[in-house]
Structure formats: C-alpha cells, structure tokens
Amino acid sequence: MAGRRSAGTAGTAGTGTPPVAVVTGANRGIGHEVVRRLAERGAHHVVLGSRDLAKGEAAARRIDPGGRRVTAVQLDVADDASVAAMADRVTRDLGRVDVVVNNAAILYDTWAQARSADLDEVHRAMETNLFGAWRVTQALLPLLRRSPHPRVVNVSSEGGSLAGMTGGTPAYSVSKAALNALTRLLAGELRRHGVLVNAVCPGWTATDMGGGGRPVPEGAAGVVWAATLPDDGPNGGFFRDGKPVPW
C-alpha cells in the first residue's frame, strides 16, 4: 500500500480484518471529511484516495497521525491503470472492501450553457464524475460482493436532478444526472447481493468547489449516513441529509 503503514503491517490482513472503506477524491473537501468521520467512528479502516499521493499522505496524517486507521493510496479515477493498481493493492494488502464512496468530481461549469457548451469539457466531466465512479465500483465489486454489509455511495448533486434542471452548468449537471442513472442501475443489479447503492447530494458546502455554503462537516454527514446504513436501509435512492431528493 502506498504511503504510510500498509494494511498488512496494521495487522488487518486475514481473519479479523476490520471493514474497509474506500473514499475517492479524499485529499480535501467533503471526501477528506468523510474519511475523518469514518475513521473516528472506529468501525472501518479507511483508504484515502488521492490523485497526488503526497497530498493524500499529508491528508491522512492530518486525520490519523499514527497511521493505524487511514491509508493513503494514489488514485486517479479517470485513469484505468490507476484504478486497477488501487484495486490490486487493496486486494493484496487489506483483502476486503465493504464501503465505496465515489466522491471525486470536477467541473462545476457555472460559466457554460448547454446550447454552446465546449463538448471537450463535457467529456472531461463525464470521465471523472460518471466513468470514474463506474470504473472504481467495477474494480472493487469482487471484494464488495464478499462483504457482509456492502455499501456504495455516489456523491451526486441536486444539479443532476432532472426534476430541477432549468439550464446552466451543463457538463456538471449531465454528468451527475448520469451518475444518478448509474446509481439506479447498480442498485437494481446488486440488490440480490445485498449491496445498498445510493446517491447523495451533500448540499451547497464550503469547499473549493462550493466556494461558499454550509460547513464541510454538515455536507459530509449525509454521505457518512449512506455509507453506514443498516441492512434494511434504502437502496437506489437519492438523498440529502438522509431525506429523499427528487430525481
């Protein structure tokens, strides 16, 4: 495992391995706070995905200076090889995945409109916001399916709600609407394996992307809620603060 102590040296390989949560785009913003909260709850070993490993390691140290509960791993969700390498390392060093939080996203294109959008920009948004979540989930699915309580959280946005779309932010909105569709498909297909798959809007949150809004812990809370649902929790839903959001 890249970074500080490997899961193997944490004594978590083999029997007695604690549940493992993988969070993408977790070196800053909501993803970082989700890692913090999952680690502080103490029930999970958390894999902190960061496309820049040095930033990921620094972020992991801020949460867990002793390096027992959080492991940084290089992860660019837009890069097949990076995702495959992450899945290999998690498989080898931890041997299980119980929670996947697809948080990484880009391109809140407030400057653009659908009628004149730069389609290269839309492609880039899709590559990270949709295909990134899709390839990470596919790569970790063999491990997820072996989990007794598997959960997938797709961090979406009300900007992807078809019910609320009136124009603007085309790359971001289309990519999040597609992520919502993926959420429904995976939820239906994986139901019989006990995997709960939900989309969560964190609400307008004061991160680099948000540029204002509510405190990061408030935005992260609904994501953690979906990541830690009981077995009889919802599947295939779209939520903010634990309450349904219109599709």
Tell me the catalytic residues.
172
Q: How far is the CB of 107 from ligand NDP (least distance, A)?
A: 9
The window from 90-98, 134-142, 182-190, 196-204 that contacts ligand NDP (CB under 6 A) reads 196-204
Asked if residue 3 binds ligand NDP (CB under 6 A), the reply is no
Q: How far is the CB of 17 from ligand NDP (least distance, A)?
A: 25
Q: Which is nearer to ligand NDP, 51 or 151 (CB)?
A: 51
DSSP code per residue over the chain: --SSS-TTTTT-SSTTPPPEEEESS-SSHHHHHHHHHHHHHSS-EEEEEESSHHHHHHHHHHH-TT-SSEEEEE--TT-HHHHHHHHHHHHHHT----EEEE-------TT--GGG--HHHHHHHIIIIIHHHHHHHHHHHHHHTT-SS-EEEEE--GGG-GGG--SS-HHHHHHHHHHHHHHHHHHHHHGGGT-EEEEE---SBSSTTTSSSB-HHHHHHHHHHHHT--TTS--S-EEETTEE---
Q: Which is nearer to ligand NDP, 10 or 179 (CB)?
A: 179
Question: CA 123, CA 130: separation in Å to the nearest integer?
Answer: 10
**Binder among 194, 213, 233, 236 for ligand NDP (CB under 6 A):** 213
Among 100, 223, 246, 237, which residue's Cα sits nearest to residue 160? 246
Chain residues 26-55 in contact with ligand NDP, contact rule CB under 6 A: 27-31, 51-52
Q: How far is the CB of 70 from ligand NDP (least distance, A)?
A: 15
Total binding residues for ligand NDP by CB under 6 A? Answer: 30
Chain residues 150-179 in contact with ligand NDP, contact rule CB under 6 A: 155, 157
Beta-bridge mates of residue 214: 205
**Binder among 3, 25, 150, 222 for ligand NDP (CB under 6 A):** 25
Q: How far is the CB of 135 from ligand NDP (least distance, A)?
A: 11
Residues 66-95, one symbol each (x = binds ligand NDP by CB under 6 A, - = not), give: ---------xxxx-----------------
State the amino acid at position 161 in one-letter form. Answer: S
The window from 11-19, 89-97, 99-107, 136-144 that contacts ligand NDP (CB under 6 A) reads 99-107
Residues near ligand NDP (CB under 6 A) are: 24-25, 27-31, 51-52, 75-78, 103-106, 128, 132, 155, 157, 201-202, 204-205, 207-210, 213
